[in-house]
Structure 1
């Protein structure tokens, strides 16, 4: 039997690892020091490893003949200034693609994911006699920008590492109590499309609007009209979200500018609904431009996240393992979420199933815990981290043979 209980030394190492990662976040696809830290830890554990996808790290723990299971932890931070007041809070900075220097924090909990994965790897090393097979540890960069999974696949992840029969992963969240886990069956997380829209007009003096085509007014009409796609074109039974996250135009109050720019984020749970929403966006943008006698806008894709689909049969298998480890009352069935993940590309690229679950980061008696991507997001150390380790170990172990051959 595999013993999942952490020793006192392992628990201290888990907490130290988490605090180190939390203090030292890095932006997406810039996780150089994080990758070096992970490599050092894998070396100490005696796990072979290689770089993949730039700042991604892959560890391969072989323990005789048997199944191959992959487990993924994402590594990137966010451009957020931390306001938690924690002794180990981040004061790190990083540079965006345009050179802008910004504060960086682990505002989505990826530090907990990496710490839990490394601790889980240590458990499997310690318990070699109780299992056999191969575990592929995927420490993936760039989840926040939907770059990392695709970059690792393009860098021949599954040609260089053993091909798994399943890919597993997890995420810390505020809406499940600490100590509990939640899993959705089927469509688990939404597809996401992010678009940049450039609206073109004709510049003029603010006092002479008759000589202008005002892209601010035109853009405002576009943004308002786009909100009718979900409310008036889709069935209430077809979940979707259309959000305008930024709007920029002009440099001075008495100049009507020649262009405006806004960005959109679209969430959908099926390809059919996604196609209908994107076609409606194009139709509305072009129609509003025509109504203002303006050129058609330029629409550019920023990034896209795939649908995260949890294979129902494997959800049942993983849920059984989680219930045995944590207690059935601590395993919650969840509906689909409109958040997004690029995790699904890892399994989809080789045609194998995946299961992705969440674990709680705050006590049940916290009435309004800070959400992911908040400057106040700081999960409680325990039982959050130990739960992440136990969940990872129990789910992975469900797919391995045992005991290992002598």
Structure 2
């Protein structure tokens, strides 16, 4: 039986009444001080596993190398999966916080430490209130969402038997901390995040002395023309209504001032929303790179490899509508906002078994004083100027710790039997 949003909101208040907000905040600070990169989240996984075991869940570690799965069977009823990602980024922290990262050049700049905290809080709250719901809760601590090792942690967990070793879900839920006015819950039914491709390019030239360029084929010059021309592949070949974002994230060539190198390397990142646009963009990239190399007289064709890809994230519209209604009942009508799809990407959809509905939303977290002091009159102007995910200045307001616990708990209760 599907309960009303008001019933779920009331049940959420009861289930989360005993949440230890201070203890969870301390847990978050500890995670933030000890960030770990993709597929090296050993300490984080151990802490998560320990909290889940203490709450009464059956815990399996090492799923997809450093993934954690906790299962709580609580009678007959639906199966709900709650997912949080665990990895940090190779970013130098610049926040100056007293609990700033203790690892040089590594930081939870995307907020996955908050995701783990929310996951623990939701699991503990639901485990402590088993008389309020019936079904099976599966908690997933997923590594390597950032793909820092060239692989998706969700794909690694699926390859390690996630879909067969554990109860199959009736619904999968995930969420992300995000910049924006404190405490909003951002929902978008259907397409919510873009597909993503990382593309590695190697351009072959003929090296030589910097004083005799006529005896060389300069790959730096060819690569520079590629970088410039690639932007026209987006702006002039795709319709204005087609969304595609192409970024050159790395340009590497040479080792000394007076040497023309024999190779140049580019690393591209492409974001698209629909398969047809993705295929057109990839074809344009290949044609432009090959054409510029031919024009430069490169002695060998370029190497163009898609190193890493993720599909678009498409929320189940009916499930998202139900959860958004519940979140309105919990937090108020004005707290739930639909800003439409974003060009960020996620691997959460790879966790879901075939035909499993999933829903993914955002919880905004910019401290109120930071938001108010940001330049700009409109929310869009301010949003562009406050620290964002992947910034060394990204620092969620700690008051969102209980907010994210309630969003997860209420989503789970919207599916569980009462």
Range into which the TM-score falls when normalised by the shorter chain: over 0.9
Aligned to 1:338: 343
Deviations 1:68-114 (A, max 9, x none): 01111000001111111111111215xxxxxxxxx211000001111
How far 1:351 sits from its partner (Å)?
Answer: 2.2
Aligned to 1:39: 49
Q: Does 1:190 align with 2:206?
A: no
Aligned to 2:114: 112
Q: Does structure 1 conserve the Cα–Cα contact (< 8 Å) formed by 2:12 and 2:410? A: no
- Runs (4+) of structure 1 exceeding 2 A deviation are 1-9, 363-369
Cα separation, 1, equivalents of 2:178 and 2:12:
26
Aligned to 1:323: 328
Q: Does 1:304 align with 2:309?
A: yes
Question: How many aligned residue pairs are there?
Answer: 390
Pairwise mapping of residues 356-367 of structure 1 onto structure 2 (< 5 A)?
Answer: 356-362=360-366, 363=368, 364-367=371-374
Q: Indicate the larger mover: 12-21 or 261-270.
A: 12-21
Aligned to 2:126: 124
Q: Does structure 2 conserve the Cα–Cα contact (< 8 Å) formed by 1:269 and 1:307? A: yes
How far 1:204 sits from its partner (Å)?
Answer: 1.4
Cα separation, 2, equivalents of 1:182 and 1:61:
28
Cα separation, 2, equivalents of 1:31 and 1:193:
24
Structure 1 395/131 Cα, relative in aligned 2: closer, same or farther at 3 Å?
A: same
Cα separation, 1, equivalents of 2:293 and 2:278:
23
Cα separation, 2, equivalents of 1:156 and 1:257:
46
Cα separation, 1, equivalents of 2:110 and 2:398:
15
Q: Does structure 1 conserve the Cα–Cα contact (< 8 Å) formed by 2:85 and 2:112? A: yes
Q: Does 1:157 align with 2:162?
A: yes
Q: TM-score, normalization: structure 1?
A: 0.94
Cα separation, 2, equivalents of 1:297 and 1:231:
23
Pairwise mapping of residues 205-220 of structure 1 onto structure 2 (< 5 A)?
Answer: 205-220=209-224
Aligned to 1:97: none
Aligned to 2:402: 386
Q: Does 1:80 align with 2:82?
A: no
Cα separation, 2, equivalents of 1:181 and 1:366:
22
Cα separation, 1, equivalents of 2:247 and 2:31:
32
How far 1:143 sits from its partner (Å)?
Answer: 0.2
Aligned to 1:395: 411
Which of 53, 70, 78 matches 2:81? Answer: 70
Deviations 1:29-60 (A, max 9, x none): 10001111011101110111102111000011
**Secondary structure of the residue that 2:217 maps to in structure 1?**
coil
Cα separation, 1, equivalents of 2:386 and 2:223:
36
Aligned to 1:134: 136
**Secondary structure of the residue that 2:239 maps to in structure 1?**
coil
How far 1:20 sits from its partner (Å)?
Answer: 1.0
How far 1:3 sits from its partner (Å)?
Answer: 4.4
Q: Does 1:60 align with 2:60?
A: no
Pairwise mapping of residues 281-296 of structure 1 onto structure 2 (< 5 A)?
Answer: 281-294=285-298, 295-296=300-301
Q: Does 1:22 align with 2:32?
A: yes
What are structure 1's unaligned runs of at least 5 residues? 94-102
Q: Does structure 2 conserve the Cα–Cα contact (< 8 Å) formed by 1:4 and 1:123? A: no
Q: Does 1:268 align with 2:285?
A: no
Cα separation, 2, equivalents of 1:78 and 1:147:
14
Please report the RMSD computed on the Cα atoms of aligned residues, expressed in angstroms. 1.3
Which of 164, 180, 184 matches 1:180? Answer: 184
Aligned to 2:390: 373
Cα separation, 2, equivalents of 1:116 and 1:401:
22
**Secondary structure of the residue that 1:4 maps to in structure 2?**
helix
Aligned to 2:11: 2
